[in-house]
Chains A and B, each alone.
Chain A
Amino acid sequence: MNRAVINRKLNKVPTHVIIVITLIMWLIPTIGLLVTSFRPLQDINTTGWWTALSSNRTSDKPRFTLSNYVDAIVGYRGTKSYTEECASGTSVTYKCDTSDILNPRGMGRAFLNSLMVTVPSVILPILFATFAAYAFSWMEFKGRMLIFAVLVGLQVVPLQMTLVPVLRMYVNLKMNGTFWGVWFFHTGFGLPYSIYLMRNYIGGLPKDLFESAYLDGASTWTAFTRLVIPLATPAIASLAIYQFLWVWNDLLVSLTFLGGTKPVMTYQISNMVTSLGAGWHLLTAAAFLSMLLPMVVFFSLQKFFVRGMLAGAVKG
């Protein structure tokens, strides 16, 4: 008996070792980024980020600073730092007051733009999808299965297919570079998956519920607002997180339709990567700023996200 217990414990050792090693490998890149984003520019370019964590240090200069974040937020790309330049009073590009937070080159403005892009791009597809999923689940009409099958197929269409025609359409309609353009593009592409997921959920609600509602004289609209929406809240939550992460993290759509006119966070970072002006101190801070909101959403609402993911896959 005792030996069996010991044996079982011993058997678990390699499991734990493999898991811990994998976890460390998964975490190290992100930790490197996080630590670097707080290090002074000088240190970043001369020593590896892990030296900042070691206990014996020769220099008495501070090992961590917030100045990278300040520079990233205002979009400072000069040789000193934003605070130094403002202190010296020689800045041409900056007013050195709170308005700099919204400097078009900075991550502060990009954060607002990302929010402006994301919020309607999450609400619209969910709204339209809930309408459609209701019809697909609880109404009779011709071609119901056919349309739905087409929809399942559309989930996989690569968005690259549609960029050029939509861009042309936008140029003709003078919608290029507007938030409207991005909102509707994300809505269009979010819909097939959203409808599929919502229909799986709404179609699974008990039939009696709808029957008694109709017997009580409820119209389809009353049933929709009083029954479907409140009951589908968990599915709506899953979908909202999914769509939020997708839109917030998207680069291609924003790059194509907004570009530099209304730079979002991913655009701004990819610009820093490709342009020569930005060093690691800016990049790491900017990258971490862009991850902040998705990380918070992700870790606080992970349960819903996973549930949505599992429900969304076309199962065998």
Chain B
Amino acid sequence: MASSRTPAIMKQGRLTPWLYLLPALIVMSIYILYPMINTIGLSLKDANSKGSAATTCIEGQPCWGILENYRYALMHEINTTSAKTTWDSFWLSSYGNQIKWLLVMVSGTVGIGLLFAVLVDRIKQEALAKSIIFMPMAISFVGAGVIWKFVYAYGSSKIQIGFLNVIITGLGGKPVTFLSEVPLNTFMLIIVGIWMWTGFCMTMLSSAIKAIPEEVIEAARIDGANETKIFFNVMVPIISPTIVVVLTTMVINVLKLFDIVYVMTGGNFSTDVIATRMYTEMYKNFQTGRGTAIAVILILIILPFIYMNVKRFMAQEEMR
């Protein structure tokens, strides 16, 4: 336990530790704790944060009373006339898109990252290859947005300057407007996310793979296992704790994701995710109540991951 590590002589005055903690605690209270509580309060008020959210209800329309902003946040994008419209509109809503992002981007980054980490382990120019995959981490989402907008560019019916459309027209196909074609556009945005974050996953997983003792792999090889078997039956189980860490980190990252969508489509053409929708409500529509309600929904979705992180941390402390 941590307490036993402290030298007995170091039991200082009662106040001293707090003096060291004070600057950090003050700043975090002002910028994280207080606003979190305040946001919850604002989400129950109207657009100007004056009256209760219940006052924004319209006669004859569904209303959740004081939780009206939550009704708006959850239901507004959904067309509930029939089961089919509900289903279709859900998949084009910010929540549906967020699920697409989660499924495709998390599996993409972790999958490619893992595969690349394993492959690159066997070649000589490992460091260089890893740097190239890792490089997009240094670039801002805004910069990456510009880079990929250019790749996806749609010139006109005659001239194509976007790399992807040139390949398509070169193969005899018709040029595609990648960023406005629903539902293709969301997946085109996800590719940008994968491009940016695979390096992170690869680096984390690669260091875990390197920590596997050589003898373990050798032993499996002598037993006649082929490379695929070694990968799935030996490597993956050993590094599974790291895979879990990388997975949760990526899920949290994707849930908070804002910049790629904001820069590339501005959330238009049904590409909104939770964070961009919140921004639009807050700063374009000036609907503070609705915007903060979306923010609260976001933290509720993230809450289980916060719990997991704390729990994992506690277990780690026990072992120290």
Q: Which of B28, B145, B166 has the most CB of A within 10 A?
A: B28
The answer for the CA separation of A291 and B141 in the assembled complex, in Å, is 11
Residues 156-196 of chain A, each 1 if its beta carbon lies under 8 Å from chain B, else 0: 11111111111001000000000000001101110110010
B225 to chain A, nearest CB (A): 15
Contacts of A119 in B (CB 8 A): none
Contact residue among A191, A274, A280, A287 (Cβ-Cβ distance under 8 Å from B266): A274
Overall SS of chain A's interface: helix
Q: Flag whether B51 is at the interface (Cβ < 8 A).
A: no
Whether A15 touches B119, Cβ cut-off 8 Å, given contacts A161-B35, A220-B12, A245-B137, is yes
The answer for the CA separation of A18 and B160 in the assembled complex, in Å, is 29
Q: A15 contacts B142, CB within 8 Å?
A: no
Contacts of B249 in A (CB 8 A): 313
Q: B310 contacts A149, CB within 8 Å?
A: yes
A256 to chain B, nearest CB (A): 8
Q: Which of B85-93, B101-109, B128-136 contacts A (4 or more CB under 8 A)?
A: B128-136
Task: Count contacts on B: residues with CB < 8 A to the other chain.
Answer: 108
Q: Flag whether B140 is at the interface (Cβ < 8 A).
A: yes
Whether A158 touches B295, Cβ cut-off 8 Å, given contacts A138-B6, A220-B16, A283-B146, is yes
Contact residue among B25, B31, B39, B147 (Cβ-Cβ distance under 8 Å from A187): B31
Q: Flag whether B200 is at the interface (Cβ < 8 A).
A: yes
Q: A15 contacts B123, CB within 8 Å?
A: yes
Q: Flag whether B241 is at the interface (Cβ < 8 A).
A: yes
Q: Flag whether B259 is at the interface (Cβ < 8 A).
A: yes
Q: A131 contacts B258, CB within 8 Å?
A: no
Contacts of A306 in B (CB 8 A): 203, 207
Closest to A250 in B: B140
A308 to chain B, nearest CB (A): 11
Q: A33 contacts B146, CB within 8 Å?
A: yes
Q: Which of B58-66, B148-156, B180-188, B229-237 contacts A (4 or more CB under 8 A)?
A: B148-156
Q: Flag whether B10 is at the interface (Cβ < 8 A).
A: yes
Tell me the A260-316 residues at the B interface (CB within 8 Å): 265-266, 269-270, 273-274, 280, 283-284, 286-287, 290-291, 294-295, 297-299, 302, 306, 309-310, 313-316
Q: 10 additional contacts, CB 8 Å, given A140-B6, A295-B138?
A: A29-B147, A131-B23, A132-B24, A136-B21, A220-B16, A248-B140, A273-B263, A290-B143, A295-B135, A298-B135
Listed from nearest, the 7 A-B pairs whose CB atoms lie closest are A188-B31, A316-B241, A249-B140, A162-B35, A298-B138, A165-B38, A165-B35
Binding site for B on A (CB under 8 A): 12, 15-16, 18-19, 22-23, 26-30, 32-33, 36, 44-50, 127-129, 131-132, 134-136, 138-141, 144-145, 147, 149, 151-166, 169, 184-185, 187-189, 191-192, 195, 203, 207, 210-211, 214-215, 220, 224, 245, 248-252, 256, 265-266, 269-270, 273-274, 280, 283-284, 286-287, 290-291, 294-295, 297-299, 302, 306, 309-310, 313-316
